[in-house]
Amino acid sequence: MHASAPRAPGVAVTRPRRRIGALLLMLAVAALLAALDRALPPDLTRYRDRAAEVVDRDGIVLRAFTAADDTWRFAARADEVAPLYRAMLLAYEDKRFSRHWGVDPLAVLRAAAQAAWHGEVVSGASTITMQVARLLEPRPRTLGAKLVEMARAVQLERRFSKDEILAIYLTLAPFGGNLEGVRAAALAWFGKEPRHLTPAEAALLVALPQSPTRLRPDHDPAAARAARAKVLDRAVAAGVLAAAEAAEAAAAPLPTGRRAFPFLAPHLAERLRTGAPAAERIATTLDAGLQETAEGLLRRLAEGLDPKAGVAALVVDNASREVLAYVGSGDYFDRRRDGMVDMVRAVRSPGSTLKPLIYGLAFDRLIVHPMTVIADVPRRFGAYAPENFGGGHSGEVTVAEALQLSLNVPAVAVLDRLGPLSFDAALRRVGVTLHFDRRIGRPTLPIALGGVGLSLEELVTLYGAFSHGGRVAPLVTAPVAATPRPGAAEGEALMGAPAVWYVARALRGAPRPPGYADPQGAGDARGIAFKTGTSYGFRDAWAVGFTDRHTIGVWVGRPDGAPCLRCVGIEAAAPLLFRLFDLLPAPDDAPVTAGGPPDGVIAGGTADLPPGLRRFADAPTVARHGVAQAAGRLRIAFPVDGSVVSLGASGGAGRLATLPLRAEGGRRPLRWLINDRPLGEGDWRRGASWQPDGTGFVDVKVLDADGNVSSATVFVAARAEDGAQ
């Protein structure tokens, strides 16, 4: 055996030290890279600055808003694009995308070899991840920038999944002009979502980011066609597409220009966007197809109206109270008609459209019945003397006929009995506040004829009571949360089911606009119950109608509040209402009164009613020459309706003195009510008194043994010298 060669001194110790040193160096480099990764993370600002979109109930875009830099840039996920587009993209841009770690070494070697052989750059080595790094932080095309992109690509791969990286690319890739991302491109070039792309469309969208300006099909169709063909050839080579399919796609026509982005329901979109400025996707309850058809219909029909008149409409699904169509104006961009003003929310005079609610409350409180006889004759209510819209009077009619014919004097008489304050309070309880003239400050009898302010949205909300058993709840324009507040959907009670049935039955028999009455004269085939209204001076025309399934409201008028030529409810608004009902599926609609009356309905004619409901007690008898006579009828002598009563202190701390009550006429025993609450138990004489608990408006009523009622609204004030507040 040969003796082994002697080792140099210290060799056995040096090699392990070198290995340890190398390991420590690698750890130090790794630690440095990790520190740099934390200190200099990828900047995702551009990715997060995306356009907002308002969508319908099925996710169809209604209207979009550009990003902060005026770019159309929508978020897009990998599972939201057509699988064929995704396969073509990877085959063309980065076929080893799923296997590399941000930088593809094989692609780098291939690009370097080609550059060395040809003396110039022949092909790039950028992966999709490297392109994402460049899209997030654009830099000049230099070698240094390329090295930064490679480092950023590794960072991105460490932080995100492949699908997340692909989502960033699909959101930021340029497609010409201010289009970024495949969703914006698909909508602008083809008018569709990227999940529905054809092979020809997908190939063009794969090619466009290579040179977005040069390859735009509306700028250079030949270049765009050649680029698309190249993508198709690559797809065939990769087995993504059959040769026959590629040939057919190559022959498909190119888009000749960009399409406008969807612009439906602009008023509601702006309203919801204002309420949620940070939201990227805002869902609504609208039906995009119905919305588009309704807007087109109203835009066309508005051309036959006053040159400066606008239109607005709401279509509501009764079952859910969801708004299916929201038309704030016929044409948003029509400056002549002030199209940018949202007339769904504008406060206007509702004309006679509150009459069904007045009668409904009167039915509910047994003040009148549809078959109660009431006199339509000239009459004064203090200084107020209402007149019918067409002039003249009808004499004695039933309450149902008075509602169908929209007679003014009977409606004011019923409101007088019901009490304007009581009517206002009833609407407030269900969430709708009437807008009064500040100079008056309180509800008065003219509100029966439109002497008050209300929006179309509020009016349609109130009419929702007629399809929900008398209960009112807000309309729904955005999907309700999975766990809504208990009782929110049911709403607050405005009137009972019998009153709803009475009103709906009467309104089904209202005179129809020309062309919408059936041959038997019983309304229309759908049984639409509806009411029209015309405000003072022909400033507003209204029509609100409902069936079992839908409620629709229409407003016509000048947004500037000026008188409007031919703006009469039955002539201008009612035809639009019925045309909108024609857009809905006919088999889905049925009369609200179908299926028989609910419990509590008093059927029959006038003779079948209780004595107190056969004739309206406050209605004067018609004299030979049409002069009203009212001798001996029940009335409140004190306090006087509309007066201010100043009371001193009663001796208790801060308490006012009692308010004396005095009635004349009527048959005893009498019963007094304060704000619809009985004053006390038992029978009362003609004189009584009430102890106020503070100052403010008070609704005083007295009922006699025959069911007659007289009412007065007064303001109770404290004498200044008493020091009461």
The total number of structural domains that make up the chain: 3
Report d(CA 342, CA 320) in Å as an integer: 24
pLDDT at 588: 52
pLDDT tens column, 369-388? 999 999 999 998 887 889 88
Q: Which residues of 66-83 are buried (b: 16+ CB within 10 A; e: fewer)?
A: ebeeebbbbbbebeebbe
Compute and round to an integer the Cα radius of gyration of the chain. 38
* Beta strand 709-718 pairing with 696-703: antiparallel
Q: Please tell me the predicted confidence (pLDDT) of residue 391.
A: 76
List the chain residues with pLDDT less than 70. 1-15, 18-19, 21-39, 106-125, 438-441, 481-489, 517-525, 586-595, 618-632, 650-654, 680-686, 707, 719-725
Say yes or no: 561 and 672 in one domain.
Answer: no
Note the pLDDT of residue 518.
56
The predicted-structure confidence for 676-695, as pLDDT tens digits, reads as follows 778 865 445 667 888 888 88
Beta strand spans in 2-95 (E): 52-55, 61-65, 72-73
- CA–CA distance, 169 with 209 (Å, rounded to integer): 10
Q: What CATH number does the domain containing 137 carry?
A: 1.10.3810.10
Distance of CA 345 to the CA centre of its chain: 10
Q: Running DSSP on this structure, what letter comes out for residue 656?
A: B
- Strands (E) in 48-141, as ranges, are 52-55, 61-65, 72-73
606 and 637, same domain (yes or no)? no
Nearest residue to 363 (alpha-carbon basis) of 319, 426, 407: 426
215 and 85 within one domain:
yes
**Does the residue 308 lie in any domain?**
no
pLDDT of residue 489: 60
The encoded tokens of residue 321 equal 């109270």
Q: Do 570 and 659 belong to one domain?
A: no
Residue type, position 48, single letter: R
**What is the distance between the alpha carbons of residues 167 and 86, in angstroms, rounded to a whole number?**
11
Last residue of a domain, one of 250, 265, 296: 250
Asked if residue 403 and residue 546 are part of one domain, the reply reads: yes
Is 327 among the domain residues? no
Does 203 share its domain with 115? yes
- Per-residue model confidence (pLDDT) at position 32: 54
- What does the block give as tokens for 441? 């400050």
For residues 528 and 549, give the distance between their C-alpha atoms in angstroms, rounded to a whole number. 10
Residue at 271 is within a domain:
no
Burial of 645 (0-12, 13-18, 19+ CB in 10 A): middle
Q: Are residues 407 and 450 in the same domain?
A: yes
Instruction: Identify whether 279 is part of a domain.
Output: no
- Look at residue 676 and tell me if it is in a domain: yes
The three-point CA angle 488-494-497 to 5° equals 100
165 and 207 co-located in one domain: yes
Final residue before a domain boundary, out of 234, 250, 266? 250
Residues spanned by the domain of 538: 355-420+432-472+493-550+557-614
Between the CA of residue 299 and those of 319, 525, 691, what are the distances in Å? 28, 26, 58
199 touches 246 (CB < 8 A): yes
Considering the domain architecture, whether residues 566 and 660 belong to the same structural domain is answered as no
* Domain-embedded: residue 228: yes
Q: Is the peptide bond before 221 cis (omega within 30 degrees of 0)?
A: no
Domain with residue 708: its CATH number is 2.60.40.10
Match 């002598």 to its residue by tokens.
Answer: 637
Nearest to 301 by CA among 327, 274, 335: 327
Q: Which residues are catalytic?
A: 93, 352
Q: Helices 182-190 and 199-207, interaxial angle, to 10°?
A: 120
529 and 399 inside one domain: yes
| Torsion-angle region of 424 (φ positive above 0: left; ψ -120 to 50: alpha; else: beta) | alpha
DSSP letter at 259 equals: P
Q: Tokens 């006679």, residue?
A: 352
Q: H helices then E strands: how many in the chain? A: 21, 24
Which helix or strand (DSSP H or E) is residue 591 part of? none
Q: What's residue 650's pLDDT?
A: 61
| Cα separation, 226 vs 221, whole angstroms | 9
Residue where the block lists tokens 């709403």:
491
Is 51 part of any domain?
Answer: no
